[in-house]
Amino acid sequence: MKRGFSLIELLMVIGVIGLLLAVMMPSLSRAREQARVVAVNSDLYQIGLCLEMYMDDNRGIHPPTRQDCFMGWEDHQLPPELAEGGYLPGVSPTTEMTARIEDRFHHGHTYKYWSVGQLYQNNRYMERIRASLLIPAGFPASEGEPQEDIEYDDPDKSPVTWVIFSQGPNYDDWETLKILNGPVPKRTWYSPTKRRGLIVRMRLRNGRQIGTFEE
């Protein structure tokens, strides 16, 4: 006659399974996060190509930056010109998203766009105010101290033309990002060890594009 498991043996098995799950869950969570980071990087690469096509069709002019003082993380959405021109899929007019491409780390929101030059604030074109980016001294080869950062609002002089970025995992410091005047400084970028930061792609003045994982 076969003997069944005793209660103690069952509890031991359950305990071992629980211990294995406790050990494996952080690794699984990190793996899922890394998969999303890779997917976001691919999305930004594709959006970067769309921006290049837009510029090719518009005499090298990039879309303006749009700011909305009341929208928080909705601020700095992707340029609606990309969807209107067919470079990105459009969305229903009932949504506040400017294109049907969602930030994988921020449900219901597009990726963000920040450029140098023309600026719209609260849907009004600003004739006397220009969008600007804070660029670290020596960027992208190196970065000096924060006090050496330089603010550019002229696309002909700025080392960076535009930036597209994802909120990334565990980054919610929008106020600091505004103080830094854009996500160009690498201290805002995603760090696999800290598991926090923005995932970024940008166009340099020479036309080359770089991102969080390529320089």
pLDDT in the model for residue 158: 92
Dihedral sign for Cα 88, 89, 90, 96, please: negative
Q: What DSSP assignment string belongs to 160-200?
A: EEEEEEE--TT---HHHHHHTTSS-SGGGB-BTTTTBSBEE
Q: What is the pLDDT of residues 161-194, one digit of tens each?
A: 999 999 888 766 666 676 667 788 888 888 888 8
pLDDT in the model for residue 7: 66
Evaluate if residue 72 carries a pLDDT over 60. no
In a domain, residue 2? The reply is: no
Q: What is the pLDDT of residues 58-68, one digit of tens each?
A: 999 999 998 87
Per the structure, the complete domain to which residue 157 belongs is given by: 9-211
pLDDT in the model for residue 147: 67
In a domain, residue 3? The reply is: no
Binning pLDDT at 50, 70 and 90, where does residue 113 land?
very high
pLDDT in the model for residue 68: 75
Least trusted range by pLDDT, from 52-66, 127-141, 196-210:
127-141
88 CA to centre of own chain: 17
Give the Cα separation of 59 and 9 in Å (integer): 75
**Region 148-154 average pLDDT:** 87
DSSP assignment letter at 127: S
For the entire predicted model, the pTM comes to 0.82
pLDDT in the model for residue 110: 87
Give the tokens for residue 185: 């400084």
In a domain, residue 138? The reply is: yes
pLDDT in the model for residue 182: 77
**Region 61-84 average pLDDT:** 80
How many C-alpha atoms does 33 have within 13 Å on its Cβ side?
18
Dihedral sign for Cα 81, 82, 83, 84, please: positive
pLDDT in the model for residue 138: 79
DSSP-based three-state secondary structure for 8 = helix
Q: What is the pLDDT of residues 20-35, one digit of tens each?
A: 666 655 566 677 888 8
Give the Cα separation of 128 and 134 in Å (integer): 19
How many domains would you assign to the chain?
1
Closest CA to 37 of 165, 163, 141, 161: 165
Closest CA to 41 of 199, 157, 185: 199
In a domain, residue 4? The reply is: no
Q: Which of 3-7, 8-12, 156-160, 176-180 has the highest mean pLDDT?
A: 156-160
In a domain, residue 71? The reply is: yes
Helix segments in 58-138, DSSP class H:
80-84
**Region 145-162 average pLDDT:** 86
**Region 139-168 average pLDDT:** 84
In a domain, residue 141? The reply is: yes
Mean pLDDT (the chain) is 82
In a domain, residue 181? The reply is: yes
In a domain, residue 99? The reply is: yes
Place of tokens 């950062």: 149
pLDDT in the model for residue 181: 73
